[in-house]
A and B are shown apart, each in its own frame.
Chain A
Amino acid sequence: MKGEPKELKIKVNGKFFELRVRPKALLSDVLRKDLKLTGTKRGCLESTCGVCTVILDGKAVRSCSVLALQANGHEVTTIEGLAEEDKLHPIQEAFIKHGAIECGFCIPGRVMMAKALLDENPNPTREEVRLAMQGILCADSGYVKQIEAVEIAAEKMRGGE
């Protein structure tokens, strides 16, 4: 039922890893259990809440809905790979400063979703930000400050202050 483990070569947050994983292993499980990157949260495991969102080759994906072996030979960025040393990414800065974080459980996935959006579209409209945020549930901080924080970060990343 489980199948024999297969080789997985994957680049995560700039580092190369060679692992043996079961064919049924989810990308989220390999990140969390094998690589100990627990910043990527385990939410619903059925692609409904979006808190496990990571960036796979530049696109935001829900890591509970990607088999680890599908990421073989590809590049993944998780929340742990976003800040450079002590310097937070502008999206992270904006989320803190704008008070967009409450319990924080959806925040890693949400920040990765925002990064994928802004990397592709540096100047999104409010509707485009809302659309990106639509895929990730939040239970408590509401989406108001989160949407505003993404807009603040976008402006900063475009060079404005």
Chain B
Amino acid sequence: MAGKKQKKAKAAEEATAAVVLKEVEYSIIGKPMPRVDAKAKVTGEAKYAADIEVADMLWGAIKRSPYPHARILHIDTSKAERLPGVKGVTTGKDFGGFKWGWSRETRDEEPLATTKVRYLYEGVAAVAAIDEDIAEEACELIEVEYEPLPGVFDPFEAMKEGAPLVHEDRPGNICLEYHWDFGDVEKAFAGSYLVREDNFQTPRMAKGYIEPPAIIAYWPDATHLTVHAAKGSPYFPYRILSNCFNLPLSNVRIIQPFIGSDFGGTKNDMINGDFAAPMLAKKAGKAVKIVYTQFDELTTCLRRHPMWINIKTGVTKDGKLKAIQIKLISDGGAYTRMSPLTHFLAGSGMTLPYNLPNFKTDIYCYFTNNPSSAAMRGHGMYHTRFAGDVQLDIIAEELGIDPVEIRLRNAIKNPKPGQIYETINKVHIATCGIEECIEKAAEAIKWKGRTKGKTIMGSKAYGIGFAAGTFLSGAKLSGHNACAAIVRICEDGSVNLLSGATDVGQGSETVLCAIAAEVLGIELKDIDVKKVDTEFTPVDPGTYGSRVTVLAGEATKNAAEDAKRQLLEFAAQEFGIKPEEIEIKDKKAFAKANPNMSIPWARLVRMACYTTPGMVIIGRGQSSRGVSVKGLTEFTKGEGDFGTNYSFTAQAQEVEVDLETGVVKCTDNSVIAHDCGFPLNPPAVDTQVQGGAYHPGVGAALYCEFKMDKGLTLNPNLVDYKLPRAYEAPMTEVIHVITNDPYGPFGAKEASEGSTCTAPPAVINAIRDATGVWIKDLPATPEKVFWALREKKEKEKK
């Protein structure tokens, strides 16, 4: 253990040394910095959506369907309306046939169901009342007459001929299908030394945030709508509510409170309450607040897709990948939601992080009468990376090649500066630290010196597994993906930063402030960052696709440079030299050639603002890379850049398996080497990698799975649906691999979403190392491990 501590200390030192190199250049960026919002959070001052109150506010509640699939024959709200304290009732009919969806082509969902419900507890009506109890009581008084219909509850039922249709206009219950063929897989398989075919399964999962959705809506006048909601992408409701209520965007005001995490899906997208609250507020003429319970969240909100993955891989004798073919079937749930993107990423992402010359895939997503599936951290790529990286270990074992060695042989090499690597499906990469990540993780866990195979102590077996992964940063999917920022210099030298980005806990407010302060040569505390208020902040796609640091970061950098340029022009007049001969650093503007010729920041700003009457210094900036480096992604073709740049991760993980009970635990002997380009705030990258990626990954590997019975969620609480707690969340060592990507601000790429994808394969590979059994369907519950061990024992007896 002492050796491990020393090793950890040494690795930490090396990582710090790498960061220190950059500190010479930057004043703030790349150094540890406290988060700008930490004090508000630790004192309880921070207001999350459910904490917000508006004078004379009403409480709303949603009436939900008791059937997973049924026709709505009649809704009678009269008894609810007569209950004292009730101020408004709404049903889906009030929305005049409005339907919405993630994209123009996928508008298949109503704010509240009018003619048919497609999953259990789908909203059919809502009530606003003077308190929460009365609102709930009134919901029970709403009488709904249903005609229950037979349902389909997994994709294999859904695909059968004659199966009940979830959407009458969608034959075969097919939500989407993709068929892509790059190179020639058949020829490559024929020429392969080994071809392996395996089946893997990933389950439906909860997003795992602790803050349930909440919304407060009110109408300051008949044509203006104001909303405070727990949304990580406030410009989604901005656009959707504008359409829904037929309001110009100028009249829709979404104000972002503090957000209690968001791992994709529900907090990007809309839920029944997001439509019901504004409608009830309109009807009642008062503010309406709807707060979901965790039960509502876990039974009705968006989940990770369950996927069934058949993967066939051909390799050469020395383990080099020749071809991969994937057949993927998934459960999209009741509505399309973001499924087109999820499956695009699940397929397209397969050409990273290893060289892959031939790739073919057939993907089918089916509608079922389960709650809808959608994006979740590691979006799409998580599923197929799990299959690919476990199968790579199986292949390595068959060929007698070391798991680290087979990864190194296939790893995409870091392109030389100025060069670009292109995958077979036209994904372009300027920097790739995967090789270094693999080497560093192997070294830190002492891979070469480890005892291969199982180490048994009493009834416990120990083993180490390895995995590598990747994720996109700066999702680049359609035209509206660019970011903008505004830097406003106040006359006393303090600065307002307005961006459309939302900090959901990842630390983007801090990083954006750091970028602005770095460029302007001032301190972090001089910058005041505004939360999204669509009335004032520039439009922004939102917090998803690991896009904020890379794209909002670039926009902020450009805005700060624009403001700085204006100040330098003024300083140039003062000094009688050219603007480019002046620098601002440590809150001082000075001539580069003669630092003694200087002027303090506050004085420079004041003079600039006052000398020319009416001078206002506002810097504007946009991200240039969000929409096009090499053209937009082609969903249907499966090719093109879905990210601005790409992070890489390698993980080594030890597990302890109880051979009597099948219980698996991840030990503290764990290393994650992560290439996020350049860590702008290294401790924030560490917590993201540990808590925002590694622990959810451990959860996915060992615990997390919704159990279903005909559309009913059997474990809708956070005890029966197990998330890692302090005991199940091992300590881990994070190593930063620095590649300085040219497409990210200050060399940055996304941090940690890719690390979500490496824990499940690393854990499964470690279980194999410890016990000799393969668990191919997640999670590796004690029951599965127990029976696999039993089966192995019986085989060995024969």
- A54 smallest CB distance to B (angstroms): 11
Q: A48-B719, A143-B695 are in contact. Are A102 and B43 (CB under 8 A)?
A: no
B727 near A141 with CB under 8 A, answer no
| B208 in the interface (beta carbon within 8 A) | yes
Residue interface mask A49-81, B partner, CB < 8 A = 1: 101000000000000000000000000001110
Q: Tell me, in angstroms, the Cα distance from A15 to B212 when the chains sit together.
A: 31
B726 near A48 with CB under 8 A, answer no
Residue interface mask B29-40, A partner, CB < 8 A = 1: 000101101111
Q: A88-B43, A144-B732 are in contact. Are A42 and B691 (CB under 8 A)?
A: no
| A38 in the interface (beta carbon within 8 A) | yes
Query: CB within 8 A of B44: which of A39, A96, A141?
Result: A39
Query: Chain A interface residue count: which class?
Result: 35 or more
A92 near B43 with CB under 8 A, answer yes
- A126 smallest CB distance to B (angstroms): 10
Query: CB within 8 A of A142: which of B45, B51, B683, B690?
Result: B690
Q: Tell me, in angstroms, the Cα distance from A32 to B507 when the chains sit together.
A: 27
Q: Tell me, in angstroms, the Cα distance from A147 to B39 when the chains sit together.
A: 18
- The residues of B that contact A88 with a CB separation of less than 8 Å are 39, 42-43
- The residues of B that contact A135 with a CB separation of less than 8 Å are 725
Stretch of B253-261, B619-627, B652-660 lying at the A interface? B253-261
- B470 smallest CB distance to A (angstroms): 21
- A140 smallest CB distance to B (angstroms): 5
A99 near B32 with CB under 8 A, answer yes
- The residues of B that contact A83 with a CB separation of less than 8 Å are 43
Residue interface mask A79-102, B partner, CB < 8 A = 1: 110110000100010011101111
Query: CB within 8 A of B50: which of A42, A95, A107?
Result: A42
- The residues of A that contact B210 with a CB separation of less than 8 Å are 43-44, 49, 51, 105-106, 137-139
Query: CB within 8 A of A137: which of B35, B259, B686, B725?
Result: B725
B42 near A95 with CB under 8 A, answer yes
Q: Tell me, in angstroms, the Cα distance from A133 to B47 when the chains sit together.
A: 23
Q: A99-B35, A103-B505, A104-B505 are in contact. Are A133 and B726 (CB under 8 A)?
A: yes
Query: CB within 8 A of B46: which of A40, A104, A140?
Result: A104
Question: Which B residue's beta carbon lies closest to that of A138?
Answer: B691
- The residues of A that contact B398 with a CB separation of less than 8 Å are none
Q: Tell me, in angstroms, the Cα distance from A44 to B292 when the chains sit together.
A: 9
Residue interface mask B635-656, A partner, CB < 8 A = 1: 0000000000000000000000
| A46 in the interface (beta carbon within 8 A) | yes
Query: Chain B interface residue count: which class?
Result: 35 or more
- The residues of A that contact B258 with a CB separation of less than 8 Å are 103-105
- The residues of B that contact A140 with a CB separation of less than 8 Å are 209, 261, 505-506, 687-688, 691-692
Residue interface mask A95-139, B partner, CB < 8 A = 1: 111011111111110010000000000000000001101110111
Query: CB within 8 A of B38: which of A1, A42, A82, A95?
Result: A95
Q: A45-B294, A134-B726, A142-B692 are in contact. Are A102 and B42 (CB under 8 A)?
A: no
- The residues of A that contact B294 with a CB separation of less than 8 Å are 43-46, 48-49
Question: Which B residue's beta carbon lies closest to that of A91?
Answer: B42
B38 near A101 with CB under 8 A, answer yes
- B658 smallest CB distance to A (angstroms): 19
- The residues of B that contact A92 with a CB separation of less than 8 Å are 42-43
- B398 smallest CB distance to A (angstroms): 36
B727 near A134 with CB under 8 A, answer yes
| B731 in the interface (beta carbon within 8 A) | yes
Interface residues of B in 143-195 (CB under 8 A from A): none
| B402 in the interface (beta carbon within 8 A) | no
- B208 smallest CB distance to A (angstroms): 5
- The residues of A that contact B43 with a CB separation of less than 8 Å are 39, 79-80, 82-83, 88, 92
| A145 in the interface (beta carbon within 8 A) | yes
B45 near A144 with CB under 8 A, answer no
- A44 smallest CB distance to B (angstroms): 4
Question: Which B residue's beta carbon lies closest to that of A129?
Answer: B726
A108 near B691 with CB under 8 A, answer no
B692 near A141 with CB under 8 A, answer yes
- A86 smallest CB distance to B (angstroms): 10
The 10 closest A-B pairs by CB, nearest first: A39-B44, A142-B691, A103-B505, A104-B41, A105-B260, A38-B51, A79-B44, A44-B294, A142-B690, A133-B726
Interface residues of B (CB under 8 A from A): 32, 34-35, 37-48, 50-51, 53, 133, 137, 208-212, 258-261, 263, 291, 293-295, 504-507, 683-684, 686-688, 690-692, 694-696, 717-719, 723, 725-727, 729, 731-732
In the complex, besides A80-B44, A144-B732, 20 extra interface pairs with C-beta distance below 8 angstroms are: A1-B137, A36-B53, A37-B44, A38-B44, A39-B44, A42-B50, A44-B293, A44-B294, A102-B692, A103-B209, A104-B37, A104-B38, A104-B41, A133-B726, A137-B210, A139-B208, A140-B505, A140-B691, A144-B729, A145-B687
Interface residues of A (CB under 8 A from B): 1-2, 32, 36-46, 48-49, 51, 78-80, 82-83, 88, 92, 95-97, 99-108, 111, 130-131, 133-135, 137-147
